Amino acid sequence: MSVKVLIPTPLQKFTRDQATIECEGGSIAELLDSLESSFPGIKARLCDDQGELRRFINFYVNSEDIRFLDGKNTSLNEGDEVSIVPAVAGG
């Protein structure tokens, strides 16, 4: 499954300054592994030591927060857009 991933500024040093990348994965969990193999080191920034998504990171699939979907098991379809957005903003 090829999906488009929007990378936040603090992680763009891993993606050679690219703000948008194409990546493979049938779910968010698979996407994380595939991101790691393309951009080593990136997964440790997104997940804590237990492999859970850090609490200040939000994932959206086609604009929907994955916490309203199936969390890390949220499935991905061809052409989906995944946004990775730091939580600390707003108010």
Partner 1 sequence: MTQATQSLTQPSSSATFTGLKCKECGAEYEAKAIHVCEFCFGPLEVMYDYSALAQTVTRERIQAGPNSIWRYRPFLPVVTDTPIDVGTGMTPLLKANRLARRLGLKRLYIKNDAVNMPTLSFKDRVVSVALTRARELGFTTVSCASTGNLANSTAAIAAHAGLDCCVFIPSDLEAGKVLGTLVYGPTVMAVHGNYDQVNRLCSEVANTHGWGFVNINLRPYYSEGSKTLGYEVAEQLGWQLPDHIVAPLASGSLFTKIYKGFQEFVKVGLVEEKAVRFSGAQAEGCSPIAQAFREERDFITPVKPSTIAKSIAIGNPADGIYAVDIARKTNGNIESVTDQEIVEGMKLLAETEGIFTETAGGTTIATLKKLVEAGKINSDETTVVYITGNGLKTQEAVQGYIGQPLTIEPKLDSFERALERSRTLDRLEWQEVLV
Which parts of this chain interact with partner 1 (CB under 8 A)? 6, 8-10, 19, 45, 54-58, 60, 63, 65, 67-68, 83, 85-91
Shortest reach from residue 61's CB to partner 1, in Å: 12
In sequence order, the β-bridge partners of residue 57 are: 86
7 residue type, one letter:
I
DSSP 8-class letter at 1: -
Shortest reach from residue 86's CB to partner 1, in Å: 4
Rounded Cα distance, 35 and 40, in Å = 8
Nearer to partner 1, 26 or 68 (CB): 68
